[in-house]
Structure 1
Amino acid sequence: MTTDAWKAALDALLGGGDVRRGGTAVTAADRARLEDALAALPPGEPCEGPTVREVLAAPSRARVRDLFLGGKDHYAVDRLAAAELTAAWPDIARATAALRAAVHTTARHAVGGLGIRQVLVADYGYPTAGTSGRDLHTTVHQASPDAAVLYLEPDPIAAAALRALCGHGSVAVLRDDPAADPGGAFARAVRDGGLDLGRPVCVLLPEAMARTGAPGRTARVLARALAPGSVVMVMAAGPDDIPAVRRAAEAAARHLLPFHPRTAAGLRDLLGAAGLTCLEHGPLLARTGHACAVGVRRA
């Protein structure tokens, strides 16, 4: 579906007014947000993935995350899913904010402290304003203006919203998902995103390792692909959080948003088995609230 066809489908579905989804109106403001996001796509670019009806009738990880971060890019179905997740895990909104902050902290240290000049982030979602800032590339460029930032974003509208903020060639956005296809995603990051695997990379995977059912495969791809000196950040739950996180995972699965709870110790074992050296302490191990970011470096 092209951008023009997507807009035509939006017109047909909304008919110039409100439609009901889960008992809450999709308003003219909702429609305007969708149109603004689509306007960020180059003319004629395919909008593969969800249809207009699916965007408005099924929850999205990126929009649920945006809700937990205090943003505006969500609809009734997202609020319903978020309410069930919160009932299962009352601290999930705080954990989401802490994880977003940890992503920025890790990138800032990797670029400003370790001298890495390439940052790849997956699952960033909407550039929701917050304590860590709207977008990651601003944080990175405050540490080093010449660093390159590449977003791999599976959500089509979130990708368009990120693309609208990219003002120069050192920032790129690709519609891709390393949780579904890690090898293909990194190959496309090199081919289409300008990633240079001959130099160190800061790879930020705040949710990809939780979303995949085969985390060992992702870890092996990282171990084979990344140059020495690269840094990887992944998400884990603290031991005290696991029961609540498991309940939240059950609720998420009911909304077709599955994820797999994993502890920091389990991820260290998994990454170590793939040949990556885990940093148990230091600036790349960030734990804030209930979000745990594990930093690893290629041996």
Structure 2
Amino acid sequence: MEDDRTKYPQTGSGDGELQQDRPHSARMYDYYLGGKTNYAVDREAAQEVTRHFPGISTVARVNRAFMHRSARYLASQCGIRQFIDIGTGIPTAPNLHEVAQEAAPDARVVYVDSDPIVLVYADGLLNSSPQGATTYVEGDVTDPGSVLAAIEESGYLDLNRPVGLSLHALLHFVPDDRDPYGIVRTLLNRLAPGSYLSLSHCTPDFDPAAWAAIVNVYTAAGTPTQVRSRAEVLRFFDGLTLTDPGLVVAHRWRPEAASGPSLVTDTQVSLYAGVAQKP
């Protein structure tokens, strides 16, 4: 496999915290979704990923669709009125709060991200319904204690009441040496009984060679990446009760008529997704 480290500088070149001189995972994701908040360096890396795995834009779109369905499900069928979305990324309408507040206008949402590029565009996350509320706090998922402290300090949520915790397309950017399972446990331990975890995670199960190449592209660009098998993703739900249909390829999680499983294959999606409740 080609070593991509020669393509992307491993230190900044004066472009500041936004790292405009090297690919950025949030801007690459924006490119996959057809957005315009990206630079030539992001498009070059994203096109390299696409060369290895032509369905990467499908992965991104299916992940967004899962986020919409899970937020709608939690708000409309599970009575959740508080949401935490960690690893928010660049806003792309409809955002989680817009979906949740369409089902429950009084829903309150706290977005969390550590990337400066997301902060630049965070205004798109703050157009709450009059009855609800949204805010954005800076926080790094690899420091869950600080994330929880920032959320509590914001005063937007009552963590003694159930919360919907969204970790969508995030934990494959947390390698095992950063203790991703411990991070999830720390977050869930602080949440009230009856809270839910909504999670999606890329997998190499259906095309190992392509995903090994994708991991190489991201890691070379400065974003350590580790995709995981179904069994490894399932571990994130230890101690929780998965809702039907369990942990499945994302397009198979409660599909709606316009996005049914027949439209894409498991290999094209390569993303596991599930929603589970804390007892």
TM-score normalised by L of structure 2 = 0.79
Structure 1 residue aligned with 2:273:
293
In the TM superposition, residue 235 of structure 1 has moved relative to its aligned partner by 1.8
Contact 1:209 1:218 in 2 (8 A): no
| Count, aligned residues | 243
Q: Which has the larger radius of gyration?
A: 1
In the TM superposition, residue 202 of structure 1 has moved relative to its aligned partner by 0.7
Which stretches in structure 2 are left out of the alignment for 5+ residues?
Answer: 1-6, 8-13, 252-263
Compared CA separation, residues 192 and 96, structure 1 to 2 (3 A): same
Structure 1 residue aligned with 2:196:
231
Contact 1:233 1:295 in 2 (8 A): yes
More moved, 146-155 vs 210-219: 210-219
Alignment of 1:234-245 (within 5 A): 234-238=199-203, 239-245=205-211
C-alpha RMSD of the superposition: 2.3
Letter in 2 for 1:122: I
Contact 1:182 1:221 in 2 (8 A): yes
Letter in 2 for 1:175: E
Structure 1 residue aligned with 2:21:
57
Which stretches in structure 1 are left out of the alignment for 5+ residues?
Answer: 1-21, 23-49
Is residue 95 from structure 1 mapped to residue 59 from structure 2 by the alignment?
A: yes
In the TM superposition, residue 159 of structure 1 has moved relative to its aligned partner by 2.5
Structure 1 residue aligned with 2:107:
147
Is residue 72 from structure 1 mapped to residue 32 from structure 2 by the alignment?
A: no
Contact 1:203 1:231 in 2 (8 A): yes
SS at match of 1:84: helix
| C-alpha distance in structure 2 between counterparts of 1:241 and 1:106, whole Å | 26
Letter in 1 for 2:115: D
Contact 1:172 1:193 in 2 (8 A): no
Letter in 1 for 2:199: V
| C-alpha distance in structure 1 between counterparts of 2:212 and 2:242, whole Å | 25
Compared CA separation, residues 231 and 111, structure 1 to 2 (3 A): same
Q: For residues 105-135 of structure 1, what are the alpha-carbon distances to aligned partners after superposition, in whole Å with 9 as ceiling and x for unaligned?
A: 111100111000011112221223xxxx432
Match of 1:134 among 72, 80, 94: 94
| C-alpha distance in structure 2 between counterparts of 1:165 and 1:94, whole Å | 24
Q: For residues 108-165 of structure 1, what are the alpha-carbon distances to aligned partners after superposition, in whole Å with 9 as ceiling and x for unaligned?
A: 100111000011112221223xxxx432211111001100011102222322313245
Contact 2:18 2:116 in 1 (8 A): no
Contact 2:233 2:272 in 1 (8 A): no
* Identity value in percent: 31
In the TM superposition, residue 276 of structure 1 has moved relative to its aligned partner by 2.6
